[in-house]
Amino acid sequence: MSPSQVVDVVTAGYEVRVFAAHPIGPLDPSLIMDDATAQAWIDDQVAKIRSGRRS
Amino acid sequence: MSAYRTYAQLSQAIASLASAAPAVCETFTLAEPSVEGVAITGLHIRAGDAEGTRNGVLLLGGVHARELMNPEAIVNLAADLLISYAQESDITYVVPGTGAAGATWAGIGIRVMLESLDIWMVPCSNPDGHDYVLSTDDMWRKNRRPETGPTCSDGTEPVGVDLNRNCAIVWGVIPANGEVSCDPCDYQVYCGPAAFSEPESTNIEQLLSEHPIDTFADVHSYEEMILYPWGHAPNQTTDPAENFTTLQTGTCSPIPDASYSEYIDPVDLLKLQSVGTQIASDVAKVRSHTYLLQPSFALYPTTGTNPEYAYSRHIADKGAHKTYGWTIETGPFIGDAADSFHPSDPSQTILDAKAAMLSLLMQSICAIDLIGTQLFGSSAEAATDPLAGLRTRRDVLFQSDAGRAWLELYRQLHPALLARVGADADFRSRVARLVETAASLADDPGRVLSDDDIQRGLSVIDDLAAISPEHLRAQLQAARALFQTMNGFSAEAALAVVAERSPS
């Protein structure tokens, strides 16, 4: 359906909802933590816990 | 920004946290592995030496696979709690440059929290779906159950059940305009072949059955909302007979009576709203985002959801523990659904989510319960609950405007009260005596307040006023003035007065 046809349909009193199809695919790999980063986070948190008086 | 961990990395994180703080927490494995055989682990936090039953809190994330921020938020919150407890430090969530003051929880409050609650965290309850999002389909929502049935219209085989439609609360009923489906090919909201057909949802049922969970938050995305029961119909507070136990389940059609409304106990409704209001208020402190508080039904009608199931249990089974359940919908929508479910930088939304969960945890502590447990032992150990009379009187207060105003004052004073109780043994002992007196008054109609009782109460009010926020001091003065007049009052007489005169 072209944009002008959408305008015609809306003018005729209809409601038009346009959905953009999302292609099936994996999460952007750059958003996934690598093991080294995950381990660095753990090491940082564990060090803070162990440095406390009530560890 | 590499924001999201695999399920294995999330599991490793909580295992490492537990190893670092073995006196405070331990990992646990849920009863059933996932459909694909993955062991599902959680973290149980319980600090301190106090024995007996504590208020239980369950924080659940990752039910919907693509909502990747929330498993991160729960694991990060666990670390924040353990660091605060170990270092006796405050927790502060603030976004630089926003102008917001930030949300702070005092270290002493965190200590009281960890030493008085049983906190159960299940950061990622749907590991198969979680990793499928990372590896194959970033909009996947359900678990990974291969379904039997005809090939779907797009040529694929049906896979997956929506784990937030699979619980035994009006299961398999499709509300008008609702977000539930009996079609195994439905990409989003297939409710499964039976209630609790899925091991991942059975796990939640088992947790709720095995532990006395008082408050429960299921953390989802994306909306900026706090939702409370019910989800399948509008709430009503007048006709207890119109309740879900009378509804047929598994019909794959709407509730036959289009005018049906679900009964909710008015006192419970107030509690759900009051706690939800405070959660929204605490979230707003982080970066001034407004989380809308409303019944689940107002978002869209649903059946078979986790928080509604949790709250329904004590109604369907009179012997079941009552669990107040909320859905925390973290957000916001940022123009595209996929980006909203897993934004490239979720750090600010994770602060919102952590503030919401901390707020619920803090509100799950009841100072009176805490002191009562120390005084009398746990209710599980006692033949009868020694605070039952007090609880009944408290529920009476919910029934008048003035009574609710007193309870609201108590709720606002609660953080200061808890902090002082945790830090000052003398204060704790004086409050304990007051609780003992109140319990005795509640249980014995012939017992009246003595002058000594009044003087002890006034001293606690004065100490509390000294550490309370400025805006509450006028109300505490009103409380003081009223309490001074109660010499010789029974519990009934005192209640009658406070039900008529609000503190402001």
Which stretch of A5-19, B239-253, B378-392 has the lowest confidence by average pLDDT? Answer: B378-392
Share of chain B above pLDDT 90, in %: 69
Mean pLDDT of chain B, nearest integer: 91
Q: Which of B124, B137, B188, B349 to probe the A interface (max A CBs under 10 A)?
A: B137
pLDDT of B383 > 60? The answer is: no
pLDDT at B375: 65
pLDDT for position B149:
79
CB B73 within 8 A of CB B61: yes
Query: Quick check: B185 and B152 in contact, CB under 8 A?
Result: yes
Give pLDDT tens digits for B118-142.
Answer: 999 999 999 999 999 999 999 999 9
Whether A4 contacts chain B with CB within 8 A: no
- Confirm if B40 and B203 have CB atoms less than 8 A apart: yes
> Exposed/middle/buried for A14, CB within 10 Å: 0-12, 13-18, 19+?
exposed
Domain ranges of chain B: 7-156+208-246+260-365, 381-498
Q: What is the pTM of this model?
A: 0.86
CB contact A40 to B (< 8 Å): no
Asked if pLDDT for residue B117 goes beyond 60, the answer is: yes
Q: What are phi and psi of B291, to 5 degrees?
A: -95, 125
> If you average pLDDT over residues B333-352, what whole number do you get?
95
**B153 to B50, B179, B182, B187: CA distances (angstroms):** 58, 20, 15, 12
Inter-chain touch B138–A25, beta carbons under 8 Å: yes
Q: Specify whether domain B7-156+208-246+260-365 bears CATH 3.20.20.100.
A: no
Contact B137/A24, CB-based, under 8 Å? yes
Element (H, E) at B338: helix B337-341
Gap from A7 CA to chain B (nearest CA, Å): 23
Over pLDDT 70: what percentage of chain B? Answer: 96
- Taking the C-alpha atoms of residue B196 and residue B41, their distance in angstroms, rounded to an integer, is 19
Res B446 pLDDT > 60: yes
- Among all chains, which residue has been given the structure tokens 């006034």? B458
- Residue A20: its pLDDT value, please? 65
* Any A CB within 8 A of B22 CB: no
Q: What average pLDDT does range B437-463 have in this prediction? A: 91
- Using a CB-CB distance cutoff of 8 angstroms, which residues of chain B are in contact with residue A46? 16-17, 19-20
- Tokens 């909201």 correspond to what residue? B189
Check if the beta carbon of residue B325 is closer than 8 Å to that of residue B306.
Answer: yes
Spatial neighbors of B461 by CB under 8 A, at least 6 apart, are B476, B479, B480, B483
Are A32 and B86 an interchain contact pair (Cβ–Cβ within 8 Å)?
no
Give the nearest partner residue to B83 out of A24, A32, A48, using CB atoms: A48
Q: How sure is the predictor about B382, in pLDDT bands with cuts at 50, 70 and 90?
A: very low
User: Does B379 have pLDDT greater than 50?
Assistant: no
- The DSSP secondary structure of B32-69, one letter per residue, reads S--TT----EEEEE--SS--S--EEEEEE--SSTT-TH
User: Which residues, other chains included, contact B249 with Cβ-Cβ below 8 Å and sequence gap of 6+?
Assistant: B168, B170, B171, B172, B173, B195
In A, minimum Cα distance to B80 occurs at A45
CB contact under 8 A, B2 and A31: yes
Lowest average pLDDT, out of B16-30, B101-115, B151-165, B275-289, goes to B101-115
Answer yes or no: do A51 and B87 touch at CB < 8 A. yes
Give, as one character, the DSSP assignment of residue B499.
T
Kindly state the helix (H) or strand (E) to which residue B122 belongs, with its residue range.
strand B117-122
Q: What is the CA radius of gyration of chain A?
A: 26
Residues 7-36 of chain A whose Cβ lies under 8 A from any Cβ of chain B: 22, 24-28, 30-35
Q: Name the residue among B207, B231, B346, B223 with its Cα closest to residue B289.
A: B223
Q: Amino acid letter at B271?
A: K
Closest CA to B421 of B114, B108, B54: B108
Q: Averaged over B239-262, what is the pLDDT? A: 97
pLDDT digits (tens, 9 = 90+) for B39-80: 999 999 999 877 777 889 999 999 999 999 999 999 999 999
Rounded Cα–Cα distance for residues A45 and A43 (Å): 6
Say whether the ipTM exceeds 0.95. Answer: no
- Residue B9, SS3? helix
Closest by Cβ to B12, choosing from A31, A42, A52 = A42
Distance of alpha carbon A37 from alpha carbon B390, whole angstroms: 51
Task: Choose between B394 and A38: higher pLDDT.
Answer: A38
Pick from B107, B113, B321: nearest CA to B205: B321
Nearest to A54 among B13, B85, B139 (CB): B85
Q: Give the pair of three-digit tokens for residue B106.
A: 């005092």
What pLDDT shows up at residue B381?
43
Is residue B285 within 8 A of residue B207, CB to CB? The reply is no
Residue B299 has pLDDT above 80, yes or no: yes
- For A52, the closest of B87, B133, B342 (CB atoms) is B87
Distance, CA of B181 to CA of B229 (rounded, Å): 20
Residue range B271-281: average pLDDT?
90
Q: Flag whether pLDDT at B450 surpasses 60.
A: yes
Higher pLDDT, A31 or B420: A31
Whether the per-residue pLDDT at B98 is higher than 80: the answer is: no
d(CA B98, CA B81): 24
Flag whether residue B347 sits within 8 Å of chain A, measured between CB atoms: no
Which residues of chain B have a CB within 8 Å of the CB of A35? Answer: 9
Cα separation, B413 vs B478, whole angstroms? 14
Q: What is the mean pLDDT of residues B469-491?
A: 91
Q: Among the listed ranges B209-223, B296-310, B378-392, which one has the minimum average pLDDT value?
A: B378-392
| Highest mean pLDDT: which range of A34-43, B91-100, B386-395, B468-477 | A34-43
B21 lies within 8 A of chain A by CB:
yes
Q: Which of B3, B82, B338 sits opposite A49 (nearest CB)?
A: B82
ω before B190 within 30° of 0 (cis)? no
Q: How far is CA B7 from the centre of its chain?
A: 24
pLDDT in tens, B198-230: 999 999 999 999 999 999 999 999 999 999 999
